[in-house]
Amino acid sequence: MTNVSYRSINVDGVKVFYREAGLAGAPKLLLLHGFPSSGHMFRDLIPLLADRYHIIAPDLPGFGQSDAPKSSNSFDSIAATIDRFTEIVGFDRYAVYVFDYGAPTGFRLAVKHPERITAIISQNGNAYEEGLSEGWNPIQAYWQYPSDENRNALKPFLQQDAITWQYTHGVVDVSRISPDGYMLDSFYTARPGAEAIQLDLFGDYKSNVALYPTFQNYFRTHKPRFLAVWGKNDPFFLPPGAEAFRRDIPEAVVKFLDTGHFALETHAAEIASEIRKFLG
C-alpha cells in the first residue's frame, strides 16, 4: 500500500494544497493537472510510481483545495506561485508531468529554470498550434473580441454536462470512467467565485499560445528528455501536437493511447509503465 499525505502550505499568501508520496531522496517528480481538475486526477498514477519516485501533486491556484491566484487570474500568476512552491517543498531538480493547463505552467518553469528540469512527460499538454482543435474556436473568439457576449458563451464549458463530456469523449469503454473525477470537478467549478476565475483563464490562454515559440526554443536549445503520451481521441489537443515535439527534440518519445483527454482515467497503468521505462 502507498502512503499518500495531504498537505497545505502558504506560498506568498496563497494556500497551496498538495498530495505527496514516495521517499525523500528518491528522484523527484512534479505532477501538474489541468482544467477543470485538481491533483485528484493523479489518484491512480501516484501509487504506481511512488515506490521509485518522490512525488508531489499540487492543486494549481484557483483549482481544487488551493486558494485563488493572489495577483491575477492568469497563467503567469499560477506559474509564479508553483515556481515558488517547488522551492519551498525542496524540489530543486525534478521531472515534471504536465497535462492540459499544467503544460503552460510547467513549460514556464522549464524556460525560467532549465537547470532544474531532469525530464518532461507531457500527457495531452500542448505547445504547438497544430495541436489545437476546432474545439478552441469559441475560446479563440473571446481572445480576439473579449466582449461580454463572447465571455458568456464560454459558461457552458463549466457546466456538469460539459465536464462529464470531457471525461467520456473518445473513450472506447465509458464504463471504465469513474464518476468521482467529473463530479468532483463539477463541484469545484460551481463554488462561489470559481466561474470568474475559469473565464479569466479561458481569456488568458492566448498568452500560452503567444509563448509557444518561446517554449519551442527551449526545447530546441536544451533538448530535455521528453516523453509525450497522448490520448489520441482528445477533442481539444490533437495528435499532431504530440508529434510536433520531435521537430524540436528529435529524441523525444511519442506514444498514443486509444482514449480521450483524461487518459489517466482509463490508462493509468499503461502511462505509469511508459514513465518507468522512460525515466529509468
Sheet holding 94-98, edge to edge: 5-11, 14-21, 54-58, 28-32, 94-98, 117-122, 226-231, 253-257
For residues 265 and 260, give the distance between their C-alpha atoms in angstroms, rounded to a whole number: 9
Distance CA 224, CA 116 (A): 11
Which range has the worst mean pLDDT, 11-20, 67-76, 243-252?
Answer: 67-76
Query: Hey, which residues does 9 pair with through a beta bridge?
Result: 16
Within the chain, residue ranges assigned H as helices are: 45-49, 75-88, 102-112, 137-144, 148-152, 160-168, 179-189, 194-210, 212-222, 239-243, 245-248, 264-279
Catalytically annotated residues: 261
Q: Which CATH number fits domain 5-136+208-279: 3.40.50.1820, 2.60.40.10, 2.40.50.140, 1.10.540.10?
A: 3.40.50.1820
CA–CA separation, 230 vs 242, rounded Å?
7
Please state the φ and ψ torsions of residue 37, each to the nearest 5 degrees.
Answer: -95, -155
Burial of residue 278, with CB atoms counted within 10 A of its CB: 0-12 exposed, 13-18 middle, 19 or more buried: middle
Q: Which of 103, 13, 21 is nearest to 57 (CA)?
A: 21
pLDDT tens-digit series, residues 50-78: 999 999 999 999 999 999 988 889 999 99
What is residue 1's predicted lDDT score, i.e. its pLDDT?
64
pLDDT tens for 132-174 read: 999 999 999 999 999 999 999 999 999 999 999 999 999 999 9
31: which strand partners?
97
Look at residue 124 and tell me whether its pLDDT is greater than 80: yes
- Of the candidates 65, 63, 109, 59, the one whose C-alpha atom is nearest the C-alpha of residue 87 is 109
pTM exceeds cut of 0.85 = yes
Distance of CA 98 to the CA centre of its chain: 4
Give tens-digit pLDDT for 182-227. Answer: 999 999 999 999 999 999 999 999 999 999 999 999 999 999 999 9
In angstroms, the CA 247 to CA 158 distance is: 34
pLDDT band at 280 (very low <50, low <70, confident <90, very high): confident
In the chain, what are the domain boundaries? Answer: 5-136+208-279
Calculate the CA 36 to chain-centre distance.
10
Q: What is the DSSP letter of 40?
A: G
